[in-house]
């Protein structure tokens, strides 16, 4: 299936089966806002649990908090968001569509990477087994020409962004002959900066002093609580504080389903370290986060690291973990070495010391911070896009199956009595009662067994337990595997051990421990 069609298929599948609905749909929806339905909420909670347990349960030096969405407005002055949390926007005069200038340039660079990939594929075909990819990339004139151009564009873009040179950013778009994907024209406006924070007013009096912001990231709630947590938890550096919560950004160009929304959720962890050790910890967290993603089994080739061209105002090293979404490789998670910028800024604006006293050296210092920040909604989309599969079966029929990692699936088990009589439903209910304290289960007795299997495939239930007449005689059931469609007969008393091996939290987290 074409990648762009895949996104459409996923959107309609999500709506049909209760994963994601357009928000306030009866009023024709609200742009770039979505609601998670009954299955979506389960999947989202499971992704949160996977992250939370991996962070706080598997690392004895990481604890989790839940800070308020509203914060004192000075927080955002201190963090730099009031002055610098801007997107450079450009409009196409013909289509009247608005774009982020940096994203247009990133997309141009990505096209060049794809051109290089095509050259490599041509080389592979031409030279067969004797093909040496490294040598080819280092010597092929076409590849070298494209790479040189890429480097030039990257350098110019980096300088323009770092110096906020909006004129040159526009000129670069014009020089590269980038066209609007809608109108196909190069008729661009000036580039303008646009602040992304939503503001509202506190209490009944609207005015300058009562303006507050909806947090654009969860990280600041961690920074302002650094000392509270360190002291009350007697934490010793290095240690981390994790948080999951909503963030809000007035994204002007919000699109691509739940990839870029105005209200979304982040899972962030700030890791406080001794100054000078931050780059070692930065490498540590790059590896740890990659391992966490790969452990889901969505395919190693679907991930890649991307170093930032423009470092944010607070960072001395930064990269993204990108995922191969239906729209191509895009940011899934950011890993930043944020220096001591945030804590120092909060010291400056609050007049309070935010320092760690190291008992081993009798010294106080402001720690440096490594941040890992992953979008929950983007995780959700990555899981769905890698899991969504349309299969042609041997008998010529077709099935749509969500091959969601078993521990993340909304329902772990479907319990299906073969027929609606002869005591089979009662036996099925008994099995449900035995398992439902530990697992989410769906009971279904309507329609033929084949139809019920298809329904469970479509919602991603990894195992279907069928109760038949033999069950009543031998206390055994068949258990059907969603991905292989194979069935085995096992004793009812073995079900807890089977499920523990295949879809419990320990089955997923085991490889990370
Ligand atoms: N505290 C650092 C921070 O907020 P970021 O790269 O701006 O860094 C972190 O955001 C993650 O949040 C991103 O990697 C992405 O997964 C998610 N994210 C950011 N903006 C988003 C949006 N508009 N919609 C959905 N997810 C978003």
Q: What is the pLDDT of residue 197?
A: 96
What distance in angstroms lies between residue 5's CA and the mean position of ligand 1's atoms? 25
The confidence band for 4, taking pLDDT boundaries of 50, 70 and 90, is low
By CB atoms closer than 10 A (0-12, 13-18, 19+), residue 488 is exposed
Segment 58-75 shows an average pLDDT of 97
pLDDT tens digits for range 90-106: 999 999 999 999 999 99
Cα–Cα distance between 152 and 170 in angstroms, integer? 16
What distance in angstroms lies between residue 493's CA and the mean position of ligand 1's atoms? 45
pLDDT tens digits for range 158-210: 899 888 899 999 999 999 999 999 999 999 999 999 999 999 988 765 555 68
Q: What's the farthest any 2 CA atoms get from each other in the chain?
A: 80
Between the alpha carbon of residue 121 and those of residues 3, 28, 130, 196, 306, the distances in Å are 19, 45, 13, 41, 22
pLDDT tens digits for range 295-351: 999 999 999 999 987 787 778 999 999 999 999 999 999 999 999 999 999 999 999
Residue 6, token pair as written in the block: 């895949």
Ligand 1 touching residue 377 (CB < 6 A): yes
Under 8 Å between Cβ of 463 and 414: yes
What distance in angstroms lies between residue 264's CA and the mean position of ligand 1's atoms? 8
Under 8 Å between Cβ of 289 and 54: no
Burial 72-91 (b: 16+ CB within 10 A, else e): ebebbebbebbeebebbbbb
What distance in angstroms lies between residue 33's CA and the mean position of ligand 1's atoms? 15
Kindly report the protein residue whose alpha carbon is nearest to atom 5 of ligand 1. 334
Mutate to test the pocket of ligand 1, among 76, 270, 308, 373 (most ligand atoms within 8 A of CB): 373
What distance in angstroms lies between residue 85's CA and the mean position of ligand 1's atoms? 13
Torsion angle (degrees, nearest 10) of CA 171, 174, 176, 179: 140
The three-state secondary structure class of 357 is strand
Cα–Cα distance between 90 and 110 in angstroms, integer? 19
């Amino acid at each position: 299936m074409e990648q762009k069609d895949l996104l459409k298929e996923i959107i309609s599948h999500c709506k049909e089966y209760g994963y994601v609905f357009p928000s306030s749909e009866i009023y024709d929806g609200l742009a770039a806002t979505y609601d998670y339905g009954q299955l979506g909420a389960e999947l989202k909670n499971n992704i949160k649990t996977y992250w939370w347990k991996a962070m706080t349960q598997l690392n004895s030096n990481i604890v989790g908090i839940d800070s308020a969405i509203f914060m004192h407005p000075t927080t955002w002055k201190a963090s730099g968001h009031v002055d610098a949390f801007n997107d450079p926007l450009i409009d196409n005069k013909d289509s009247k569509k608005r774009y982020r200038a940096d994203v247009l340039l990133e997309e141009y660079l990505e096209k060049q990477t794809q051109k290089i990939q095509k050259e490599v594929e041509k080389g592979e075909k031409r030279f067969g087994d004797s093909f040496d990819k490294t040598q080819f990339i280092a010597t092929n004139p076409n590849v070298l020409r494209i790479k040189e151009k890429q480097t030039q564009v990257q350098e110019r873009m980096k300088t323009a962004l770092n110096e906020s040179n909006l004129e040159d950013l526009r000129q670069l778009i014009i020089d590269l002959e980038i066209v609007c994907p809608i109108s196909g024209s190069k008729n661009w406006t000036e580039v303008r900066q646009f602040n992304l924070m939503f503001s509202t007013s506190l209490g009944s009096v609207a005015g300058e002093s009562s303006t507050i912001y909806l947090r654009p990231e969860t990280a600041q709630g961690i920074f302002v609580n650094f000392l509270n947590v360190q002291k009350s938890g007697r934490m010793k550096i290095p240690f981390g504080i994790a948080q999951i919560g909503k963030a809000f950004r007035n994204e002007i160009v919000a699109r691509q389903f739940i990839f870029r929304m105005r209200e979304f959720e982040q899972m962030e962890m700030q890791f406080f370290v001794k100054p000078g050790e931050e780059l070692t910890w930065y490498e540590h967290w790059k590896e740890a986060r990659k391992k966490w993603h790969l452990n889901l089994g969505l395919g190693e080739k679907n991930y890649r690291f991307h170093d930032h061209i423009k470092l944010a105002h607070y960072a001395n090293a930064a990269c993204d973990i990108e995922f191969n979404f239906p729209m191509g490789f895009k940011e899934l998670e950011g890993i930043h070495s944020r220096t001591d910028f945030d804590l120092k800024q909060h010291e400056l604006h609050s007049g309070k010391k935010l320092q760690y006293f190291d008992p081993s050296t009798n010294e106080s210092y402001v720690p440096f911070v490594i941040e890992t920040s992953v979008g929950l909604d983007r995780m959700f989309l990555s899981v769905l896009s890698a899991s969504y599969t349309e299969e042609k079966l041997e008998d010529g029929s077709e099935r749509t199956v969500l091959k969601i990692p078993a521990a993340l699936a909304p329902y772990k088990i479907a319990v299906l009595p073969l027929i609606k009589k002869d005591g089979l439903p009662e036996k099925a209910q008994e099995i449900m009662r035995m398992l439902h304290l530990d697992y989410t289960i769906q009971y279904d007795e309507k329609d033929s067994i084949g139809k019920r299997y298809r329904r469970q495939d479509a919602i991603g239930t990894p195992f279907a337990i069928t109760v038949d007449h033999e069950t009543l005689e031998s206390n055994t059931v068949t258990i059907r595997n969603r991905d292989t469609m194979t069935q085995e007969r096992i004793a009812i008393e073995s079900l807890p051990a089977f499920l523990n091996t295949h879809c419990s939290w320990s089955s997923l987290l085991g490889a990370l421990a």
